[in-house]
């Protein structure tokens, strides 16, 4: 198993950990592929009833690895967008609930993949941003549907168009996360919640999730296609010199 994405199973809970702390868990093309495989493996495990998604070190996920993205042509960039969207799609198809334990910065694609989780809990050290527009790009991974559904159109528009960073307390007040806890309490909190969910009837949990997600499903399918087209179009027309490649910031 690659060390870039870790999978462990603790009783009825699987923990998937992004493990590239040297770049704040920014995901390269290979890491995206591995994340998909680990999630698919966790969802297919017969005894697993809940999954926790988190990051190693002081960050949750800083989105794309811009060092790699800087060298992509348009077709390769379109493939990267598709790989990110596959993560959203596999989580939305998950037979079990997914809890995002957001231990630090969740930026761009890193924030967007949490939107496909059933529950988001955050460390007080976490912060959230959608800086795509500042890089000449657009958000994807269903953010145009999932983010407004969570925090309302006004706040979602401000995040996606303004690109401003928001702290964990703001995320809690906006409804982006359901709890904020001290950094050393995040893992126990997420595991306790996952174990509580795992103790319930799997059928009842699955049916409840279906009810919660069904209203947005048709719009989300259409949004994913539209977002992919918009992001590639923005990539084609953006000024690459604006990309802060050396900082390991991401979209």
The residues assigned a catalytic role are: 112, 132
Residue at token pair 């126990």:
188
Q: Which residue in 97, 88, 125 sits closest to 193, CA to CA?
A: 97
| 3-state SS class at 42 | helix
Q: Residues in the chain, how many? A: 251
Q: Is the dihedral of CA 111, 100, 15, 43 positive or negative?
A: negative
Q: Which residue in 114, 126, 101, 96 sits closest to 204, CA to CA?
A: 96
Report how far residue 165's alpha carbon sits from residue 106's, in angstroms, rounded to the nearest whole number: 10
């Amino acid at each position: 198993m690659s060390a870039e994405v870790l999978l462990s199973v603790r009783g009825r809970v699987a923990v998937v950990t992004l493990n590239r702390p040297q770049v704040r868990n920014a995901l390269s093309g290979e890491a995206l592929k591995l994340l998909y495989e680990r999630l698919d493996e966790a969802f297919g495990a017969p005894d697993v009833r809940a999954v926790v998604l988190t990051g190693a070190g002081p960050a949750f996920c800083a989105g794309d690895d811009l060092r790699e993205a800087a060298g992509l042509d348009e077709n390769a960039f379109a493939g990267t967008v598709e790989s990110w969207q596959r993560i959203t799609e596999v989580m939305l198809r998950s037979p079990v609930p997914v809890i995002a334990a957001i231990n630090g910065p969740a930026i761009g694609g890193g924030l967007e993949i949490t939107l496909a989780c059933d529950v988001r809990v955050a460390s007080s050290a976490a912060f959230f941003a959608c800086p795509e527009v500042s890089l000449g790009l657009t958000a994807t991974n269903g953010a145009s549907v999932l983010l407004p559904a969570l925090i309302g159109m006004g706040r979602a528009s401000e995040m996606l168009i303004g690109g401003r960073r928001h702290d964990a307390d703001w995320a809690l007040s906006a409804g982006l996360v359901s709890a904020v806890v001290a950094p050393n309490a995040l893992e126990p909190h997420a595991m306790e919640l996952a174990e509580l969910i795992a103790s319930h009837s799997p059928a009842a949990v699955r049916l409840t999730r279906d009810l919660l997600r069904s209203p947005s499903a048709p719009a989300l399918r259409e949004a994913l296609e539209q977002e992919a087209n918009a992001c590639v179009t923005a990539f084609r027309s953006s000024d690459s010199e604006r990309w802060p490649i050396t900082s390991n910031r991401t979209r």
